[in-house]
């Protein structure tokens, strides 16, 4: 078993969510119960009996079931503290918390949540302890996002293991993200804290001006610039022309392999499902242009290769060699080295499309995130 260093173990950003739906009935009931408690009792020197009374009120309001209602109520109350709704050490609540309760729409609550989390959140805080010295964590994360452009899950794990007081410039660069991620793997952080990582990612996806696209965190303005209205364009794709397009690729595959059943153009296998994969993405093509359904702007690929190609994890050189992204593990890179697009499939027009893919799709979703 790997040696676990307790000091490093204790430094991570400790966000465990009792509820991931922050507009849900249980979350709002817990928050309302806490606000009512402080309105009725005021602020005073913290005593264990005060916390126990608050716990009992939350247990009754939520109707916690199971063997550990006390633990469930603590988890719920501490979530409110970590997010910034409640102050630590039983010192009341921040004023915006009431606005969150009173909001008429989920959209309005999203706006208020973003303000609260940005201004007051501290993932080291708890209801029964004084204010932690580690503050402004979300500001630190946002400045890191500004520095590197996008954050993958590796980078998020690295940030969660950062003691922000040690970084006077207020953010992490790529090299520091790499180092912290390695430290996290050394202490088995990813396996042990899987739920907290997912909870934190879920929270970030709820904040204004942030966007999670294919597991990557971006500022929304950057995501719009990089990906445009992909979903909308895919939704209006002409189904008849798409079927014709795929049929042409299947015919090309059968001609190349001299077979009756179409095969993947990379591994040469007749998979039960094959994808007519655009080289220049359909969303990048001008409406009504020949590029949208040009046979040369396509490859017939199995689902795994199509996903890697479509998401920019692989591309091809002019001679058909696979170019893997830095974001792939070494064993995947080694596996991919076994495949190549035959030069017979690479006419000048298709090579032109592949250049477009290299320049505009390959690694564009994560080229600014932490590299290994």
190 CB neighbour count, 10 Å cutoff: 14
Q: Is the pLDDT of residue 133 over 60?
A: yes
Percent of residues, the chain, with pLDDT higher than 90: 72
Confidence of residue 370 (pLDDT cuts 50, 70, 90): very low
Say if residue 367's pLDDT is above 70.
Answer: no
More reliable by pLDDT, 235 or 38: 38
- Give the separation between CA 197 and CA 203, rounded to whole angstroms: 10
232 has pLDDT over 60: no
Are residues 315 and 307 in contact, defined by beta-carbon separation less than 8 angstroms?
no
137 or 232, greater pLDDT = 137
Instruction: Give the mean model confidence (pLDDT) for residues 360-368.
Output: 74
C-alpha to C-alpha distance for 133 and 205, rounded to whole angstroms: 26
Is the model's pLDDT at 332 over the cut of 90?
yes
**Residue range 283-294: mean pLDDT, rounded:** 90
pLDDT grade, residue 5 (50/70/90)?
very low
Q: Residue 15's pLDDT is what?
A: 92
Taking only the tens place, the pLDDT of each residue in 249-263 is 999 999 999 999 999
Q: What is the pLDDT of residue 294?
A: 96
DSSP codes of every residue in 8-70: HHTTS-----S-S-TTSHHHHHHHHHHHHHHHHH------HHHHHHHHHHHHHHHT--SS-HH
pLDDT at 2: 40
Q: Determine which of 23-27, 226-230, 321-325 has the lowest per-residue pLDDT on average.
A: 226-230
Examine the pLDDT at 177 and tell me if it is beyond 90: yes
> Is the per-residue pLDDT at 135 higher than 90?
no
Residue 143 has pLDDT above 90, yes or no: yes
C-alpha torsion angle, residues 73, 75, 77, 78 (rounded to 10): 160
Tokens 């696979």 correspond to what residue?
Answer: 322
Give the CB-side neighbour count of residue 203, counting CA atoms within 13 A. 27
Residue 368 has pLDDT above 80, yes or no: no
* Whether the predicted pLDDT of 134 surpasses 80: no
Sign of the Cα torsion 293, 296, 301, 307 reads negative
Helical residues (DSSP H) of 87-166, grouped into ranges: 96-102, 106-120, 137-148, 153-160
Span 266-285, average pLDDT: 94
- pLDDT (0 to 100) of residue 101: 95
Query: Looking at the predicted structure, is the pLDDT value of residue 11 above 80?
Result: no
pLDDT of residue 233: 52
pLDDT of 12: 86
| pTM exceeds 0.85 for this model | no
Distance CA 109, CA 101 (A): 8
- pLDDT value for 223: 79
pLDDT the model gives residue 1: 35
> Strand 322-324 and strand 314-316: pairing?
antiparallel
User: How confident is the model at residue 366, as a pLDDT?
Assistant: 61
* DSSP secondary structure letter of residue 254: H
pLDDT tens figures, 72-99: 999 999 999 999 999 999 999 999 999 9
Sorted by where each begins, the domain ranges of the chain are 6-226, 231-360
The overall average pLDDT reported for the chain is: 89
Mean pLDDT of the region 326-347: 94
């Amino acid at each position: 078993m790997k040696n676990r260093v307790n000091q490093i173990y204790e430094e991570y950003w400790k966000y465990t969510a009792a509820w991931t739906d922050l507009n849900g009935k249980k979350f709002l009931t817990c928050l309302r119960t806490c606000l009512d408690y402080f309105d009725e009792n005021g602020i005073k020197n913290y005593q264990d009996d005060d916390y126990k009374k608050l716990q009992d009120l939350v247990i009754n309001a939520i109707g916690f079931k199971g063997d550990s209602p006390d633990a469930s109520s603590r988890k719920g109350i501490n979530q409110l503290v970590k997010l910034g709704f409640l102050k630590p050490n039983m010192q009341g609540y921040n004023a915006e918390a009431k606005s969150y309760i009173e909001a008429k729409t989920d959209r309005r609550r999203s706006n208020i949540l973003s303000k609260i989390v940005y201004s007051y959140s501290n993932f080291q805080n708890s209801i029964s302890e004084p204010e932690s010295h580690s503050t402004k964590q979300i500001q630190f994360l946002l400045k890191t996002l500004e520095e590197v452009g996008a954050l993958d899950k590796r980078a998020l794990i690295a940030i969660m293991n950062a003691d922000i007081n040690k970084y006077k410039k207020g953010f992490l660069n790529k090299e520091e993200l790499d180092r912290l991620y390695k430290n996290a793997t050394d202490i088995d952080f990813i396996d042990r804290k899987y739920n907290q990582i997912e909870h934190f990612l879920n929270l970030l996806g709820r904040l204004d001006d942030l966007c999670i696209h294919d597991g990557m965190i971006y500022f929304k303005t950057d995501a719009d610039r990089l990906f445009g209205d992909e979903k909308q364009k895919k939704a209006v794709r002409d189904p008849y022309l798409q079927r014709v397009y795929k049929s042409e690729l299947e015919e090309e595959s059968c001609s190349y392999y001299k077979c009756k059943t179409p095969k993947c153009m990379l591994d040469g296998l007749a998979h039960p499902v094959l994808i007519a994969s655009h080289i220049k993405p359909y969303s990048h093509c001008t409406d009504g242009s020949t590029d949208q359904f040009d046979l040369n702007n396509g490859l017939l690929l199995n689902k795994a290769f199509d996903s890697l190609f479509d998401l920019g994890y692989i591309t091809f050189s002019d001679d058909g060699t696979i170019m893997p992204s830095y974001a792939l593990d070494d064993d995947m890179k080694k596996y991919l080295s076994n495949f190549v697009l035959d030069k017979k499939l690479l006419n000048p027009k298709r090579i032109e499309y592949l250049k477009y893919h290299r320049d505009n799709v390959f690694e564009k979703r994560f080229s600014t995130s932490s590299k290994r």
